[in-house]
Amino acid sequence: QVQLVESGGGLVKAGGSLRLSCAASGFTFSDYYMSWIRQAPGKGLEWVSYITASGDPIYYADSVKGRFTISRDNAKNSLYLQMNSLRVEDTAVYYCARDLEGGRTDVWGQGTTVTISS
Amino acid sequence: QSALTQPASVSGSPGQSITVSCTGTSSDVGSYKLVSWYQQHPGNAPKLIIYEVSKRPSGVSNRFSGSKSGNAASLTISGLQAEDEADYYCCSYADTRVFGTGTKVTVL
């Protein structure tokens, strides 16, 4: 079945870095746009970034632009999020998600938790 | 990229209809017919329930419907059921994407 599995979350000090990964299975990964979406504890959803099927173009939320980098490896059916210069406010559950045309997200992973300490 | 505005909470009795509003600007909600809605139960990932303003994915109950007028979109849940108690988020898509602030729907 269609599945997205995130990994790489953890506890990091402010200013540090983390790399999240998302393993996709059950569908032709290279055909789809993919997104990262996060949710801070007790808060709402916040779109972080998305990448087109070919890897270009790429879009970021203003809150992460210049600090986060999204990438994909279609040969490995994997999506990544390199997060640098992390801030306390980046603490959240990070979801990997599959996008369909029109910007709708039809498949979500279970999420990976990122905690940034001060 | 300011979050779209939703009421913090909406409640209704079983069998009633409720509407959740989502207000944006002419740059997001008002520009395109690309508004979607997600339902999220506690501890779970969100689930797509409406896309392109008013379309329902396969398998989603027809008790859920969406509409848009100007810079505001709406989600209506008719025949409210206990299982509809959840958080609901609107989302507008252009080159970037912006979510709403979220609405907690309570079934009394």
SS3 A29: helix
Q: Which residues of B are less than 8 Å from A64 in CB distance? A: none
Side-chain-side CA neighbours of A30 within 13 Å: the count stands at 5
For residue A48, the model assigns a pLDDT of: 97
Q: Which residues of A are less than 8 Å from B3 in CB distance? A: 44, 46
A49 touches B: beta carbon within 8 Å: no
A26 CA: distance to closest CA in chain B (Å)? 18
Q: Which residues of A are less than 8 Å from B95 in CB distance? A: 59
Q: For chain A, what percent of residues have pLDDT higher than 90? A: 93
Type and span of the H or E element at A39: strand A33-39
pLDDT tens digits, A22-66: 999 999 999 999 999 999 999 999 999 999 999 889 999 999 999
Instruction: Give B30's pLDDT tier (boundaries 50, 70, 90).
Output: confident
SS3 A46: strand
- Omega of the bond prior to A57 within 30 degrees of 0, cis? yes
B62 touches A: beta carbon within 8 Å: no
Name residues whose C-beta falls within 8 Å of residue A31's C-beta, 6 or more positions apart in sequence: A53
B95 touches A: beta carbon within 8 Å: yes
Amino acid, res. B89: Y
B49 CB neighbour count, 10 Å cutoff:
23
For residue B29, the model assigns a pLDDT of: 87
Q: Is the pLDDT of residue B1 over 80?
A: no
Compute the mean pLDDT over every residue in chain B, rounded to the nearest whole number: 94
Report the pLDDT averaged over residues B5-10.
Answer: 98
B interface test, pick of A36, A46, A47 with most B CB neighbours within 10 Å: A47
